[in-house]
Structure 1
Amino acid sequence: MAGEIGTGLQVEMVAADRVVWSGEASMVIARTSEGDLGVLRGHAPLLSLLVDAAVEISTPEGVVHAAVDGGFLSVAADRVSILSEYALLAEEIKIDEVKAELEAAEGMPTGDEREVRIRRASARIRAVEKAS
């Protein structure tokens, strides 16, 4: 039950098409539009915009690494919801494909689409590197 000593956060990471990860955690680290944010048990209620970045979820079994393409982070009553159009666990990311995507994006003319593709590919690469 929430509020008991030893109880952690209940975390759910949801993409548009599926629940990516759900379970208990002691800490969540995510990058918001205002900077990196760490969430521990007892955190104040919060709703924030996520940016394309790696997310870390510390669980009793170890750290879960994932990459999200923006979205929202909600914290309320020791429940953390990570909502993103597209999210992948590090083990689901095919690093060779992502490196090829990054190379292709770097070769694009300067513009918003180029920057978005570079940020997304970089976030996925960081998630895999942290998991290794």
Structure 2
Amino acid sequence: MAEETHLTVNIVTPDGLVYNHHATMVIVRSIDGDLGIMANHEPIVTPLQIGEVHVRRIDNPGHEDLIAVNGGFMEMSDNVASIVADSAERERDIDLSRAEAARQRAQQHLQEAQAQHDTDEAQRAQVALQRAINRIHVKTGK
């Protein structure tokens, strides 16, 4: 029996399917660091951090799709990498001006929470800031 040369990458959020393509490799940011998955990888389940997902599609070998993923987990089994995320946005769908505005709001909220010594609000603002920065990085490639 021949080994498969590609895997399927699915990204699902509470709003539905965000991404579904065949790939040679997917790279995710797990809580233990970056993880690259190729076809025929052993089954694995891993929680994800806020970060970029890189997908090397089989139909365009020199190109990587970038998706901003905000938490969740990935399961790899039978050459299907399924990512279930709180939210996810493809690079082409990110509105940079909205992401920049969200970053500014989060920074302001974080400063206010820190000034009031409100650790819960500061933590929420920090997560919002990470999400906005992640979206900006995916959109700009920086």
Instruction: Using structure 2 for the length normalisation, give the TM-score.
Output: 0.84
Number of corresponding residues? 129
Match of 2:91 in 1: 90
Unaligned runs of 5+ in 2: 115-121
Larger radius of gyration: 2
Is 1:33 the counterpart of 2:31? The answer is yes
2:17 is matched with: 19
| Cα distance between partner residues in 1 of 2:2 and 2:26 | 19
- Please say if 1:115 is aligned against 2:126: yes
Q: After TM superposition, which residue ranges in structure 1, 4 or more long, deviate above 2 angstroms?
A: 3-7
**Unpaired runs of 5+ in structure 1?**
none
> 2:66 corresponds to which residue?
65
What is the root-mean-square deviation of aligned Cα atoms in Å? 1.6
Q: Distance in 2 between matches of 1:19 and 1:29?
A: 19
- 1:124 and 2:124 matched: no
Query: Secondary structure at the residue paired with 1:44?
Result: coil
Residue by residue, what CA displacement relative to the aligned partner does 1:13-61 show, whole Å, maximum 9, x if unpaired?
A: 1111111111210000110111111101121111011111111110022
- Say if 2:113 is the partner of 1:102: no
Q: Give the superposition deviation at 1:88.
A: 0.7
Q: 1:49 to 1:6 in 2, by over 3 A?
A: closer
TM-score (norm 1): 0.90
From the two aligned structures, give the one with the greater helix fraction: 2
The amino acid of 1:13's aligned partner reads I
Please say if 1:53 is aligned against 2:51. Answer: yes
